[in-house]
Amino acid sequence: MEWTGRGVVLTTRKHGENDVILEALTLDRGRHLGLVRGGRSRRQRPVLQPGNELDLTWKARLSDHLGQFQIEPVNLRAGDLMTSSVGLASLQHLAFLMRLLPERHPYPRLFNALNVVLDNLEPADAASALLVRFELETLGELGIGLDLTSCAATGTTDDLAYVSPKSARAVSREAGLPYHDKLLPLPSFLLEGQRQAGSELTWLDVCQGFALTSFFLDRHLQERGTEDGGTRAHLLSALERHYRKEFPWNF
């Protein structure tokens, strides 16, 4: 068995004295694991850092075996990402999100979105918007996607301001106002055409965006009997520090 394709390093773990088991999100094979011979060597270690994009060749005797990876670097972005608290926290949280997906099932939209996020983690407002949207995309792939196209009560597409926690559908401001304390706020940056290009994302927008995705993701984690290990809290803390530095008037 053999295949070749692109992959982004999610994690590695030691295997024996010299080898590592690489976990990568690949374009055509989804989240995939394989052994890298000599992965702990001085030459291989910098290549096998989370966030790097690689050309991968996987070989195994049978399709259900762990198999072995041969690797070639494509985009070694890890060095820059790990010098930033937002970059490092994002890598940890994104890897956690990808481990919610079953192995060896292709998610090409998530693969492409992951590369966009990793290439655009500065400034803080751009990173925040991309990370929230990536969580929304992940929720969709998990089968619990949100419908933000029209109001669940009236069908209108105008002035959408809430999300129903029961139906995961948007609700307009007028229809939702009597029940606003039972609905989730919907920040306008998640709606096409409702924020002018180049306008600044506020910290309130960011918090509302993550609160929205967190509600549905946490419910999914509870059903699975697992938790995020604090990766989202770590990410939000890093984003807030950057926001306070870049946009102090937001606070």
Residue 106, φ and ψ in degrees, nearest 5? -70, 135
Pair 8, 118: CB distance under 8 Å? yes
pLDDT of residue 192: 73
Structure tokens at 196: 């002018």
Read off the amino acid at residue 47. Answer: V
pLDDT at position 152, please? 96
Cα–Cα distance, 90 to 33 (Å, whole number): 21
* Residue closest to 123 by CA, chosen among 9, 19, 239: 239
Please give the full DSSP string across 174-215, using - where no structure is assigned: HHHGGGGGGSEE--GGGSTTSS-TTPPPPHHHHHHHHHHHHH
**Which class in CATH covers the domain with range 2-76?**
mainly beta
* Helix (H), strand (E) at residue 94: helix 85-98
- Distance (Å, rounded) from C-alpha 132 to C-alpha 112? 15
Whether the predicted pLDDT of 143 surpasses 80: yes
Q: pLDDT by residue (tens digit) across 161-212?
A: 999 999 999 999 999 999 999 999 999 999 975 554 446 789 999 999 999 9
193 Cβ contact partners less than 8 Å away, ≥ 6 residues apart:
none
* Tens-place pLDDT, residues 88-131: 999 999 999 999 999 999 999 999 999 999 999 988 899 999 99
- 144: exposed, middle or buried (Cβ count in 10 Å: 0-12, 13-18, 19+): middle
Distance CA 102, CA 45 (A): 27
Q: What's the pTM value of the predicted model, to 2 decimals?
A: 0.94
CA dist., res. 51 & res. 43, Å (int):
17
> What ranges do the domains of the chain cover?
2-76, 84-148+186-250
Rounded to whole angstroms, the Cα distance separating 62 from 120 reads: 38
| For residues 8-13, average pLDDT | 97
Looking at residue 199, its pLDDT comes to 61
CB neighbour list of residue 209: distance below 8 Å, 6 or more residues apart: 128, 129, 132, 187, 189, 190
102 contacts 33 by C-beta, under 8 angstroms? no
Residue 212: φ, ψ to 5°: -65, -50
Q: Quick one: pLDDT at residue 197?
A: 46
Can you name the residues that pair with 162 across neighbouring β-strands? 171, 185
The pLDDT value recorded for residue 229 is: 92
Amino acid at 157: T
184: β partners: 163
